[in-house]
Chains A and B, each alone.
Chain A
Amino acid sequence: MAIARFWRENDSRYNMYGKKCGNCDKTYFPPRDMCPKCRRESMGKMKKVQLTGKGKVISYSIVHDGLPEFHMQLPYTIAIIELEEGARITGQVVDCNGDSVKIGSKVKSVFRKLGEEGKSGVIHYGYKFKLI
């Protein structure tokens, strides 16, 4: 994948910046320029907000047959997390045995390596989650 494609998302992937609709107060992650609930009324009112990264597990799966770049991590746990601010996000739950993750488990985000462009290419970073 081209480097710029990762670089331009770094702000959100590093700092968990989302957007909050100034019309209905709903928070979105990743950032959107329009609120799907308010549409026109939200134009120009989407405010950048930093999310706490704390939330709970809505659902999860332990991946045994994964994408090639994740082979070294198999099996790993992927989850949909509902953040305190209401936005939902997909990410890995790490530093734990897959069996200890449950629906409703409380988690917080941690800054981790996501992948790399081959042995000598750039390293991609972003968020993963761990149990609290």
Chain B
Amino acid sequence: MKEVAIIGIGETKIGELWEKSLRDLGIEAGFKAMEDAGISGADIDAMFVGNMSAGQLIDQEHVAPLMSDYSGMAEKNLPAIRVEAASASGGLALSQGYMAVASGVHDIVVVGGAEKMTDVGDETAGEILAKTADQEWEAVFGATLGSLYAMMARRHMKDYGTTKEQLAAVAVKNHLNGSMNPNAQFRRAIKPEMAINSAMVADPLGTFDCAPLSDGAAAVILAPLDKAKKYTDTPIKILSCGQAGDYMALHDRDSITRMDATIVAAKKAFKYAGLKPKDVQLAEVHDNYTISEIMAIEDLGFFKKGQGGKATQDGQTALNSKISVNTSGGLKAKGNPVGAVGVGQAVEAVTQLRGEAGERQVDKAETALLHNIGGTGSTAIVHLLGRLS
């Protein structure tokens, strides 16, 4: 297997971007990444596009060739592959691109993720998100995605004493980080009371426990490590990737206070890279809800089961603490363009590992972890990225 590096990154602003279509977003991120890598269209061998639900959100299927065409690649007849794993679509696109380069089939690969969510109303978007759980046996009975995560939160509170204040601490931290990220949807720090007292969405989760619905796109350029130096002085190596699955419906799992897919995916990623959780300085984890981040930092091995809430409240996941979690602002504050999330996480990690994150820079950032979840945890993908020493 070839070693693989990320040689370029690009990202749009995340938010309610009324003036931009899905193709505008995808192409903007792609061009930025190509410019960053200093490559031209002639260099590209294939394109992988993470997208959850363009068919329902903008009435457009087959979006990979659409992106490729509007990137100017139609005359080159570039192979373009759409990848879908609900909110883990971006992470899965990254892993598929990584494997395509590692296998030697392709050299230069563009991995993009894009989602346009605001062309439908909030209610419709919520309905579409609920379909990432089991439509026939969860959503049909009235389960929203938020209510499924709320049930995880309620049980986590009962079993481990996690509190509303601890959930709020996740939102407060991520909003603070987001205030330092020029691409973030929400660039305003919030006070704990604001999060704790926010309107209920699915009790015990309130508005500030939930990530927004966003438009946005991100892209990275992959190359074999031995060729990466030709393009950049600071290639960031993909150290490993682990993916795991689980029961589709939350109720079928033995425990609803952990995600076995995360646990297994992380174990694989750490094993392949020969690393341990303590070797990681920063992690971009899937905080679609505040409880998700608390469960993630436990399941990834950074904190003991049940200690994630307390650790967050104690500041152990703040910027430049024990481990810097969601320095980008996470899905909560940077935003949640679902199919783009996993690629956006890679953009943040590369920015940090290059030392280009400005006021939100993690000191001595050598190794970063990316954690992307689909649905209620029936897909988990973990990547480890590292700076070359």
Q: List chain A positions with a Cβ less than 8 A from chain B.
A: 9, 30, 36, 58-68, 70, 73, 75-76, 78-80, 88-92, 98, 103, 114-115, 124, 126, 128
Contacts and interface: CB of A to CB of B under 8 A. Distances in A.
Contacts of B124: 68
Contact of B141 (A61, A62, A75, A91): A91
A61 B127 contact: no
A36 B138 CA distance: 19
B203 A62 contact: yes
A103 B154 contact: yes
Given A63-B202, A67-B130, A103-B158, A80 B141 contact: no
Contacts of B251: 58, 80, 88-90
Interface in B169-202: 199-202
Given A9-B136, A58-B155, A61-B154, A78 B143 contact: yes
Given A59-B151, A61-B146, 5 more contacts: A61-B148, A64-B199, A68-B127, A76-B142, A128-B141
A63 B155 contact: no
B142 A67 contact: yes
B140 A103 contact: no
Contacts of B140: 114-115, 124, 126
9 contacts: A59-B152, A60-B151, A61-B148, A64-B201, A64-B202, A67-B139, A78-B142, A89-B137, A126-B141
Contacts of A70: 142
A30 B181 CA distance: 45
Interface in B245-259: 247, 249-252, 256
Given A9-B136, A90-B251, A79 B202 contact: no
B292 interface: no
B166 interface: no
Contacts of A36: 247
Contacts of A80: 151, 250-251, 256
Contacts of A30: 136-137
Given A67-B126, A88-B251, A90-B250, A60 B154 contact: yes
A92 B199 CA distance: 21
A65 B250 contact: no
A128 B143 CA distance: 12
Given A65-B201, A78-B147, A114-B140, A59 B123 contact: no
B204 interface: yes
Nearest to B154: A59
